[in-house]
Structure 1
């Protein structure tokens, strides 16, 4: 059997990986003071998977107040050496995919952020949980709902927290729209549109390898529209329909979706119409329409500044690097028991996986799939 290191290297794990300090405008004075008082106790994090997104998270953590990068897990010794030098990581906090279970004996690591390919999330997350460390797992949390449920159960059994890398749940402009919806400022919600896509490059990268990715664009970028529909509308969908278009079967092999249009129905009567694709650029837009108002965000989920407006005018919160905010907020969840505005726990990730399973089933069977 191939080792994980060989498996990851053959799959091109080092290829392009496509997937706050608390933002004080949204915090009360007392909450800011409380969080500042706890700055001296950081969440000590090891990153597992040192590809492009792992590097992005590491850079963002340099500005964190509550989270600190203290360890790494990788199958590539040269990457470990480079990270040791750049982030001042001691050798005792460095592991590979065969030795990371030994973190159970390392009191200097509190949590591990799993940023390996989707197909390895279950194995790695459960391994971390069994070592007694909290798990932060990049989305999608698994390749299907069954695996996601195993992860949730394993973390509960181990008595550790499982959080999913939903950075947008902490982004200031996104939170402002969610709060407006919660306060009834849009009136009855009628419609949501989510457009998520880009033209993917290197055909040999792991995201186009079904065994590692579990799918195609839906597993990478489409999940943003699924999750966005849920937190923007504020309900859980009760049915899904979906249609797939594949124009390049050589690049997008069996099981790897190129473009899927999907629709979600919600109990309050709202409908979501969404597009997930690896073949079109300039698709990063959310639109929420209510009886009394609207919200439009474009870009809506990209790494850079989010731009948005509502019927009341533009959203003007300053941009803070999403992963910085995410890691500080997750530290507060783990260390302080803080309750986020929108959940980021394993159950939240599992809900998205149930919907993704249903979308793939709707494509295959050509019919509406009930989610209740």
Structure 2
């Protein structure tokens, strides 16, 4: 198993065809039932690896977004994608010349799906080319880079969106709705377990220069982001403890396992686990005075499953990236405001918390947050 994406793909592969077949029943009314004759977001994908391929396949079912271009450093991949997705030669670029996309009126947005360390420079180049930027998470290596990306997109008057697919997932949104409606009462506790055994020791996700860390940057961000949107507050302190059992595979600066705790203004607390050395971790649990919510799987590619004190969650099974890209089209074109934000500021908050977690683990003390 080489990465989180490999792990999620394996647990979700049997459900992908089910998702593609049942996405018409998504919780967004008439999402795929009525013909759409509005503006279509024309997207180029940068980075044609495993997740880029998953996004491309999911976009086949989109009604408001369309894959029209590719950017890659591998010529053979470009040729393959051209044939597979009917992409014209004029919409194909490499990492050296993609700035020329500024002269291409047939591309509206570029989805950056490359190693973490490349996001900063690539998104800034996308902004300077006058294109909207969609960036995979984590959006950068640190908060300073993230802020520079936000500033660059604002200066260029383009949108910057982060690939938070769970922010559009129906089961997730139902739990958020219930929490907002007070159906759980006062939220007291949240727990997130996110992890798997990382495979190839030479993969870029175990290279600090490319990944910016280890499990926390890759899978732990789901726990951080989930704690924020489930509890509905921003944390004000963090404590953390790191465990490393294999210092050859997980070198200096590449975390293997981190347990961390978050405190919220209301008094709610979160207990979270991020690991590259423990399999089958994909669970959220939240407890309030009047009820609870449990999701397992909670962030995998699907199908997401959950239950509350009222019974099993019966929301639609969707292909996350299909809904994500259609919803992002409405954000870009119509300035639609999603229930949970997916803008650059959202990504910046997660990075500030990640930095505080790393610091807390290092100094073995509570770190106060102001995000």
TM-score tier, shorter chain, comes to over 0.9
Structure 2: tracts of 5 or more residues without a match: 7-18
User: Match of 1:340?
Assistant: 338
Residue 45 of structure 1 is matched in structure 2 by 43
Aligned-pair CA distance for 1:26: 3.7
Q: 2:99 aligns with which of 93, 98, 101?
A: 101
For the aligned residue pairs, the C-alpha RMSD in angstroms reads 1.8
Deviations 1:280-311 (A, max 9, x none): 11100000100000000000000120010000
Gaps of 5+ in 1: 1-14
Give the direction of change, closer, same or farther, for the CA distance of 1:235–1:283 in structure 2 (3 Å limit): same
How many residue pairs are counted as aligned between the two chains? 355
Distance in structure 2 (CA, Å) of the matches to 1:324 and 1:111: 16
Task: Give the deviation of 1:332 after TM superposition.
Answer: 1.0
Query: TM-score of the superposition, structure 1-length normalised?
Result: 0.92
Deviation at residue 212 of structure 1 after TM alignment: 0.3
Shift of 1:335: 1.2
Residue in 1 that maps onto 2:180: 182
Shift of 1:142: 0.5
2:36–2:63 CA contact under 8 A, matched in 1? no
1:55-204 to structure 2, matched below 5 A, reads: 55-204=53-202
Deviation of 1:320 (Å): 1.1
Name which of 352, 361, 364 aligns with 1:363. Answer: 361
What does residue 260 of structure 1 align with?
Answer: 258
List per-residue Cα deviations over 1:153-197 (Å, max 9, x = no partner).
Answer: 110011000000000000000000000001110000000000000
Cα deviation digits, residues 66-125 of structure 1 (max 9, x gap): 110000000000000000000000000000000000000000000000000000100000
Q: TM-score, with normalisation over the residues of structure 2?
A: 0.93
Q: Contact 1:114–1:136 (CA<8 Å) still a contact in 2?
A: yes
* Structure 1 residue 41: Cα displacement: 1.9
Q: Deviations over 1:344-371 (max 9, x none)?
A: 0000000000000100111111110000
1:39–1:281 distance in 2 versus 1, CA, 3 Å: farther
Q: Is the 8 A contact 1:17 1:51 kept in 2?
A: no
Aligned ranges 1:176-325 → 2 under 5 Å: 176-325=174-323
For residues 344 and 156 of structure 2, the distance between their equivalents in structure 1, rounded to whole angstroms, comes to: 14
- Judged with a 3 Å threshold, the aligned counterparts in structure 2 of structure 1 residues 157 and 43 are, in CA distance, closer, same or farther, namely same
Q: 2-side partners of 1:39 and 1:250: how far apart?
A: 55
Asked if 2 retains the 8 angstrom alpha-carbon contact of 1:286 and 1:300, the reply is: yes
